[in-house]
Structure 1
């Protein structure tokens, strides 16, 4: 089982430590692409219109300036640098030792800057989302698609892929639909059903934690649905042109 996570917009910068070594990151096939993206990001972050192109407000000016010196910034494990709703729900620090070992094998974080990293990969805090205007041509998702496809297809071959990414990051690599289950969340309130986004991050983090602690290895979306039904109300939409969707139905009121 391969669990795909998005990064987080908010990040915790390591207080100290050596800078990231690109040659030490997982998926070394992406080294040249990472070097190129680091260069693009540094150039854009130093430009007069940096905030506009990175789609951030003036309060994040300091983080944008940090993008110009990432090669010298302290680095730490990606699972500690990425923070926010999904990662709070995942609660990596409180996982059992066995669950952490499973996370090391099973969790891949798809990133606008690094392409893909695993939890222990050392990275600095940075500011770049998949919607930023940094790539020389096209979107960042389309820029990464050609780089990620051969690498992640090989890494995920023969495994069920549990896709907890948001749509922007999901566009950077689309696994084979037959071997993929995308996690969605819908809320039912007052008899009306709504697709949710912010709350979905929390539940996707909970799903990742549950699977890591449960020590399960479902082979199909249907088997995954049965595992998750032990805790949530789950609906399964079979794969078509896109992946199967596992919808967590959250009822309120």
Structure 2
């Protein structure tokens, strides 16, 4: 089983530790593309229109300035750097050692800067969304789409891909439809389904934790994923089509 996660907008910057070692990241075939994005991000972040290009407000000036120091800033494991609603709900710090190892093996984080990284890869805090049109590389979802297909397909193998990404990051790689399931979260109000982004992030994080910490075999099919999900939530499954993977719908009261 492979769990695809989005990054968090906010990052917890490491205070100590050695800097990024690009060659230590998973998916080393992405390193040439990673260097291209790093160089382009460094150039943009030092320009007068950096905030406009990166799509961030003036209050995030420190985040943008960090982009100028990514080669020397302290790095930490991705599970410590990424923070926010989804990662709080996933609760890596509270897992057992066996569960943590499982998370490092089975979770992959999509990133506008790194393309894709493993949960334990050491990275510095940065600011860059997959939606950015970065001078020098173009819109990042399209840029990474050209590079991610082969390494992620090899990494997934024939196992189930549980897709907990937002649409922005899902645009960078489409897993094989026959072996993947996208996770959607709806709230039921008067019998009708409504999308709630905050609860969606939280519930996707809780689902990832449930899959990593529950007893028994990891689900190998969308149908098995539905059964595992129903251990905690009301849910249903929309079957895959020729062009779209199965859709796991979690229903919150």
Partner Cα separation in structure 1 for residue 191 and residue 237 of structure 2 = 20
Aligned partner of 1:149 in structure 2 is 149
Partner Cα separation in structure 2 for residue 81 and residue 7 of structure 1 = 10
What is the CA-CA distance between 1:191 and the residue it aligns to?
Answer: 2.9
Q: How many residues align?
A: 251
The structure 1 segments of at least 4 consecutive aligned residues displaced by more than 2 Å after TM superposition are: 135-138
Instruction: Pick the aligned partner of 1:250 from 235, 249, 252.
Output: 252
* CA-to-aligned-CA distance 1:57-115 (integer Å, 9 cap, x gap): 00001110110111011100110000000000000000121111111211100111011
Are 1:135 and 1:143, in contact at CA under 8 Å, matched by a contact in 2? Answer: no
TM-score (norm 1): 0.97
Gaps of 5+ in 2: none
Are 2:40 and 2:137, in contact at CA under 8 Å, matched by a contact in 1? Answer: no
TM-score (norm 2): 0.97
Aligned partner of 1:11 in structure 2 is 11
Are 2:36 and 2:137, in contact at CA under 8 Å, matched by a contact in 1? Answer: no
Aligned partner of 1:225 in structure 2 is 226
Partner Cα separation in structure 1 for residue 33 and residue 66 of structure 2 = 20
Are 2:37 and 2:137, in contact at CA under 8 Å, matched by a contact in 1? Answer: no
Partner Cα separation in structure 1 for residue 45 and residue 152 of structure 2 = 29
Partner Cα separation in structure 2 for residue 182 and residue 99 of structure 1 = 23
1:163 aligns with 2:199: no
Aligned partner of 1:124 in structure 2 is 124
Partner Cα separation in structure 1 for residue 158 and residue 191 of structure 2 = 40
The answer to which of 92-101 and 205-214 deviates more is 92-101
Are 2:179 and 2:222, in contact at CA under 8 Å, matched by a contact in 1? Answer: yes
Gaps of 5+ in 1: none
| Partner SS for 1:71 | coil
Cα separation, partners in 2 of 1:93 and 1:137, compared to 1, 3 Å: closer
Partner Cα separation in structure 2 for residue 163 and residue 193 of structure 1 = 20
